[in-house]
Amino acid sequence: MSPDFSSSEKDSDFLSPSEQNQEKFSTETEGVTSELSSSEKYLFTPSLPLKREEKFENDENARFAKLITNVDGYLCELKEAQIRDGLHIFGQCPQGQQLRDLIIAIARHPSSTRLGLTRALAEDLGLEFDPLTDDFSTIINHNLFIDGKSCRTLGDAVELIEQKVANLVENLINQNLINSPFPQTNKELEWIRQNLLPSLQKTNQEITNLLIGLDGKYIPSGSSGAPTRGRPDVLPTGRNFYSVDIRAIPTETAWRIGQLAAENLIERYTQENGEYPQTLGLSVWGTSTMRTGGDDIAEALALLGVKPVWDRPSRRVIDFEILPISILGRPRVDVTLRISGFFRDAFPNIIDLFDQAVIAVANLDETPTENPLAAQVKKEVKYWQELGLTEIQAKARSQYRIFGSKPGAYGAGLQGLIESQNWQDDQDLARAYINWSSYAYTGINNSYNQEARAINSPEAFSQRLQQMQIVLHNQDNREHDLLDSDDYYQFQGGMTVAIRALTGKNPDTYFGDNSMPENPKVRQLKEQIARVYRSRVVNPKWIAGVMRHGYKGAFEMAATIDYLFAYDATAKCVEDFMYQGVAETYIFDENVQSFIQAKNPWALRDMAERLLEANQRGLWQSANQKTLDKLQAIALEAEGIIENL
């Protein structure tokens, strides 16, 4: 089962400017340009994403009003962001508010037969916007009241819709729900009553079926996926789940999502750089491919300008077609994949499909502007021949676009270095990543023998990295985030630091949020780190949730700091105020420090030492000596406690 979910809600120290904005809105027509409060200035940092196309010229009043509107929308998005409220306990169904919030997180998503809970209520209320996909900062240009409360922006309206939905679901759980005057919403509530709630209440089958399986008996089968990403059919948990038909990947649904994600990325890059992207590196994982049906590989094909061809009766991928530039409407993008070990093992057919697509695109007769991949291949064939390769060898090497660890190996090689502090500079991290990732995988002869299809080619991989403009990583659900696992910094951060070590500069790093398939988004990695930091990392609601779990809760906090540090070490994407924030929230706060000290003093020591390391390595440059001395004292105190255990 997924962990308990809840909206981020309001942190009084962080979101109070949202409430202050309302007074400014009411007087802005009078030319108000009052100074920002100190808490608002804290929000207006480079990591706060505002629309890049805005132009205010010399109109300070218009600029201020637009700025406040965008900040208000951003804060509304943060308040509605889904975060974990504690950890899942095996075999236990959440209760009370945790159950209510998990139901909302699952029921919010639509399906082919359902509108989704929030969309249904918005339709019943006669609202002319989509609460799942529309921009929260959009101004509502007419008087809109929900439950007697005025809504100035779409974010205000969505917040009230969510509150109304929460009340309805809570009444349903407590069996106090009387049919509401909302016909579409009633259909959703009935689906929750008849299907979703009973499935969640069967969570105890996790233990029951585990014992049955250990006894050698039959366990009912069931599909797999993320229930909070429009897959309630995976419930109840505790079943012997199956994954996907690998021959159907990417699915047609994944293709639609991948196309949209590719368009969003290209639009974002061209807005920020004034030109189309030419080269991109994308990490592709096997687990996410199974959950989504191939969103990542679909996006890679879409960027190349290649569309899968499906067999109609079976819905399996049987071929691909190359989209002409006239239909594509833009140049192709030269895409290099860094695949995980599990992807390599589970999806040899997709490796074959993508490799064939690369070869086909490389052989097109198009201009270098239209087809950077073909242009680069032609250039490199000559380069490799000059170094002594035959024409056939040179052409094969110049077309390598799928790389991973050697057969039988997994990961990206950075975790050990980061954990042991056994590195000095970018070159050390880059060397480890390249050594771990330099096996080229091909689909030559359609062989499914991994050894025959894996070629150790660090020269080719380094060549790909030197040409790379963009490093992209996607996330398909909100049941975790990029600071929950070392894999994110190892794959995306590893590729970034390798490019920086080879070229002397950071590539453009983007993070794709495909957790809502109806509205995939792409953000700069710095923006995504800031969103996770503000919505989850220093959120008292999340901290209180993990503190319910004792030793493991303290471990989760320590792991978050480790991954924040490691992402910064590899991708240079963490602001100084974030280090200060986690120090104050996790270590200097008396209640939290006492909890960690009592439940897991190792975590307290490790957190303090990691923050000191961040300062020593120049990642946290603004830390004052008083803060550093305090961290040193806490680390020594925790060490003393550990020695006496």
78/535 Cα distance (integer angstroms): 6
**Pairing relation of β-strands 149-150 and 145-146?**
antiparallel
Looking at the fold, whether 239 and 251 belong to one and the same domain comes out as: no
State residue 15's pLDDT score: 42
Cα dihedral 410, 414, 417, 419, rounded to 10, equals -90
Distance of CA 46 to the CA centre of its chain: 20
Domain count, the chain: 4
Residues 129, 187: contact at Cβ < 8 Å?
Answer: no
Instruction: With respect to residue 403, please indicate whether it lies within any of the assigned structural domains.
Output: yes
- Looking at residue 408, its pLDDT comes to 93
Are 507 and 605 contained in the same domain? no
C-alpha of 216 from chain center = 38
CA-CA distance, 226 to 246, in Å (whole number)?
Answer: 18
Question: Residue 201: which of 240, 178, 173 has the closest Cα?
Answer: 173
DSSP secondary structure of 570-628 = HH----HHHHHHHIIIIIISHHHHHHHHHH-HHHHHHHHHHHHHHHHTTSSTT--HHHH
Cβ(394)–Cβ(388) below 8 Å: no
Question: Which residue(s) pair with 283 in the sheet?
Answer: 338
**372-386 helix and 348-362 helix, angle to the nearest 10 degrees:** 90
Supply the pLDDT for residue 60: 61
Report CA-CA distances (Å) from 641 to 252, 559, 607, 638.
57, 20, 15, 5
Other Cβ atoms closer than 10 A to 579: 24
Domain co-membership, 180 together with 268: no
Look at residue 76 in the predicted model and tell me its pLDDT.
Answer: 75
pLDDT at res. 18: 36
Cβ 485 vs Cβ 473: under 8 Å: no
Do residues 177 and 303 both lie within one domain? no
On whether both 5 and 136 belong to a single domain, the answer is: yes
Are the CB atoms for 223 and 189 separated by under 8 Å?
Answer: no
Which are the contacts of 392, defined by CB distance < 8 A and separation ≥ 6?
Answer: none
Last residue of a domain, one of 198, 221, 255: 198
In a domain, 142, yes or no: yes
CA distances for 520 relative to 52, 254, 305, angstroms = 18, 12, 19
Q: Which helix (H) or strand (E) holds 290?
A: helix 286-292
Q: Which helix (H) or strand (E) holds 287?
A: helix 286-292
The CA distance from 89 to 176, in Å, is: 28
**Weakly modelled stretches of the chain, pLDDT under 70:** 10-66, 69, 444-452
In a domain, 378, yes or no: no
The answer to whether residues 488 and 547 belong to one domain is no
Q: What is the DSSP string of 324-362?
A: PHHHH-S---EEEEEE-HHHHHH-HHHHHHHHHHHHHHH
User: Among the three residues 132, 163, 198, which one is the final residue of a domain in this structure?
Assistant: 198
Residue 365 resides in a domain: no
Do 232 and 179 share a structural domain? no
Specify if 377 maps to a domain: no
Q: Alpha-carbon distance 37 to 13, whole Å?
A: 13
Same domain? 219 vs 111: no
Return phi, psi of residue 278, to 5°. Answer: -110, -40
Q: Is the same domain home to 299 and 408?
A: yes
| Residue 371 lies inside a defined structural domain of this protein | no
Q: Please give the pLDDT value at position 63.
A: 66
Token reading at 287: 């687990």
Give the contacts of 11 (CB within 8 A, at least 6 positions apart): 538, 539, 540, 541
Residues 457 and 596 in one domain: no
Give the C-alpha separation, 154 to 80, whole Å. Answer: 12
> Within this chain, do residues 309 and 234 fall inside the same structural domain, yes or no?
no
Is residue 596 domain-resident? Answer: yes
3-state secondary structure 199-258: HHCCCCHHHHHHHHHHCCCCCCEEECCCHHHCCHHHCCCCCEEECCCHHHCCCHHHHHHH
Q: How far apart are CA 574 and CA 569, in angstroms?
A: 9
CB atoms within 10 A of CB 201: 13
Rounded Cα gap, residues 464 and 280, in angstroms: 9
Q: Tally DSSP H helices, then E strands, for the chain.
A: 30, 16
For residue 382, is it within any domain? no
CB-based contact 336:401 (threshold 8 Å): yes
- 595 and 479 within one domain: no
For 50, the domain range is 1-198
Strands 334-339 and 240-242: unpaired
pTM over 0.75: yes
